[in-house]
């Protein structure tokens, strides 16, 4: 049996999706329910807010990265044992790849997974005009999947009349409203929302919002809507390699940088590695003086190294350890912020150059604007990554920093566009650059990395 599920979406970014999603998650959590949560798209930060609410890791679902079977498998697997799965959309409901398609939109995820969607409508400054706004979303696609509406910033006095108009004229159920709740705001930063731990009194604010939503939102109705979602179908051909992946043999110890400076993770990437026999050893380049012992590989993901430049620079022993590991041919993957940290220097947010690991020549610098962002398809020019043929890999870029030495070993092509650029440093033992990878998008990429780690383990006769 599939877990009951629904998707919360909106007509545009800034409509209150994340805050309302967190409030609804909190409300169900306060009822004693076990809730799974998902974010549509490649976003790292929104799932951190979900995780803070429900206490277990939130996941991403992205139909650019994964095909239909894999997307449904990940949703089903990560919802097992839960009472409800809540999915948060991305951008506007129909906004997809290239700005001109619905591919990888929240709508695409809803139809791929057969999930009923609830449209959050920001009603500020509208009354009757709310109806044609909703009507457009309902009718733009014949299989819109929109089964309900939630009215944000709605006057309690006006709500009953607007609800009646919508349900009578548009034949779609209204599941309540969200009044303006003072002090329940999530601030933003250059890469999106600030981190959950930076929001003062975040848990108290959510409790306050959840208490309001218990009164103004039909939570029982949303749960009933979720129960109408059909079972998730996954072909046996696709399921077998996902459920029984090839093991690496002896357990590999993979060091993963993990702290406030390096915090952009796809939880399913970790699960992908663990499923194949890897042991993940988390360490902090901010707090720890040395790398963990007996490692077979290193992962430096993205985050905010620019906010902690002084601290990272002053931790000289850690920088030396990483450089020595690289020189000894320990397999290394680095993305975005982790890639910046590998440079000789990287600028902090004050524009001051800070010493990095020194593996990549040059200085990573702040551009003051989004340098490159959005989905890309990455192909190695040599045809191999970590010495293995991996083919094309879907990826994502989003950064305000750049480098005079971004790498030229791979080519990134924008989908549905003629644009493209050189990217990534790719050697027999390293892949480092600005692109972020989701391992289920091309399993061969991460499996090539693990194979390289195996070879390193054998060469160094570890745990024999």
In angstroms, rounded to a whole number, what is the distance separating the alpha carbons of residues 223 and 225?
A: 5
In angstroms, rounded to a whole number, what is the distance separating the alpha carbons of residues 311 and 325?
A: 21
Which backbone phi and psi does 341 adopt, to 5 degrees? -65, -30
Distances from the Cα of 432 to the Cαs of 282, 299, 300, 341, 409, in angstroms?
19, 10, 9, 11, 10
Kindly state the greatest CA–CA separation across the chain. 74
In angstroms, rounded to a whole number, what is the distance separating the alpha carbons of residues 260 and 45?
A: 12
3-state secondary structure of 269: helix
Token pair listed for 36: 């799974």
In angstroms, rounded to a whole number, what is the distance separating the alpha carbons of residues 440 and 100?
A: 25
245, 203, 215, 213: which is closest to 51 by C-alpha? 203
Residues 252 and 227: beta-carbon distance below 8 Å: no
Token pair listed for 214: 């218990």
Contacts of 342 (CB under 8 A, 6+ apart): 300, 322, 334, 356, 357, 358, 359, 360, 432
| CA contacts within 13 A on the Cβ side of 400 | 16
Distances from the Cα of 325 to the Cαs of 261, 285, 291, 298, 337, in angstroms?
20, 14, 9, 9, 19
Catalytic residue positions, numbered: 336
7, 76, 103, 63: which is closest to 233 by C-alpha? 76
Residues 184 and 205: beta-carbon distance below 8 Å: yes
Return the H-helix or E-strand segment holding 118.
strand 117-122
In angstroms, rounded to a whole number, what is the distance separating the alpha carbons of residues 107 and 89?
A: 8
């Amino acid at each position: 049996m599939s877990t009951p599920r629904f998707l919360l979406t909106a007509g545009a970014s800034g409509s209150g999706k994340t805050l309302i999603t967190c409030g609804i998650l909190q409300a169900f959590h306060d009822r004693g329910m076990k809730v799974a949560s998902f974010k549509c798209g490649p976003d790292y930060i929104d799932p951190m807010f979900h995780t803070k609410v429900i206490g277990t890791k939130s996941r991403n679902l992205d139909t650019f990265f994964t095909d239909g079977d894999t997307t449904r498998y990940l949703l089903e697997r990560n919802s097992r044992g839960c009472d409800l799965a809540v999915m948060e959309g991305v951008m506007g409901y129909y906004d997809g790849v290239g700005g001109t398609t619905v591919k990888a939109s929240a709508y695409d995820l809803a139809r791929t997974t057969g999930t009923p969607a609830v449209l959050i409508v920001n009603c500020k400054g509208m009354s009757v005009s709310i109806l044609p706004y909703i009507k457009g979303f309902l009718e733009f696609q014949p299989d819109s999947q929109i089964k309900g509406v939630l009215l944000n910033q709605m006057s309690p006095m006006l709500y009953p009349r607007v609800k009646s108009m919508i349900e009578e004229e548009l034949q779609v159920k209204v599941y309540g409203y969200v009044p303006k709740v003072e002090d329940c705001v999530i601030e933003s930063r250059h890469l999106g929302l600030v981190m959950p731990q930076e929001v003062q009194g975040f848990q108290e604010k959510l409790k306050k919002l959840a208490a309001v939503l218990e009164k103004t939102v039909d939570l029982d109705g949303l749960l009933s809507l979720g129960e109408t979602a059909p079972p998730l179908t996954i072909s046996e051909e696709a399921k077998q390699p996902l459920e029984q992946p090839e093991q690496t043999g002896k357990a590999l110890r993979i060091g993963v940088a993990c702290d406030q400076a390096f915090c952009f993770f796809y939880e399913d990437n970790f699960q992908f590695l663990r499923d194949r026999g890897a042991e993940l050893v988390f360490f902090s380049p901010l707090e720890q003086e040395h790398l963990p012992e007996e490692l077979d590989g290193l992962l430096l993901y993205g985050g905010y190294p620019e906010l902690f430049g002084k601290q990272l620079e002053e931790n000289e022993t850690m920088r030396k350890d990483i450089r020595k590991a690289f020189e000894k041919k320990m397999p290394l993957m680095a993305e975005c912020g982790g890639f910046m940290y590998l440079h000789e220097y990287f600028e902090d947010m004050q524009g001051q150059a800070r010493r990095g690991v020194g593996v990549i020549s040059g200085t990573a610098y702040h551009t003051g604007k989004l340098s490159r962002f959005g989905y890309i398809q990455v192909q190695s020019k040599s045809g191999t990554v970590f010495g293995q043929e991996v083919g094309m890999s879907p990826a994502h870029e989003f950064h305000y920093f750049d480098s005079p030495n971004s790498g030229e070993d791979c080519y990134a092509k924008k989908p549905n566009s003629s644009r493209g650029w050189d990217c990534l440093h790719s050697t027999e033992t390293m892949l480092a650059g600005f692109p972020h990878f989701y391992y289920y998008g091309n399993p061969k990429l991460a499996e090539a990395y693990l194979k390289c780690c195996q070879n390193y383990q054998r060469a160094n006769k570890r745990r024999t």
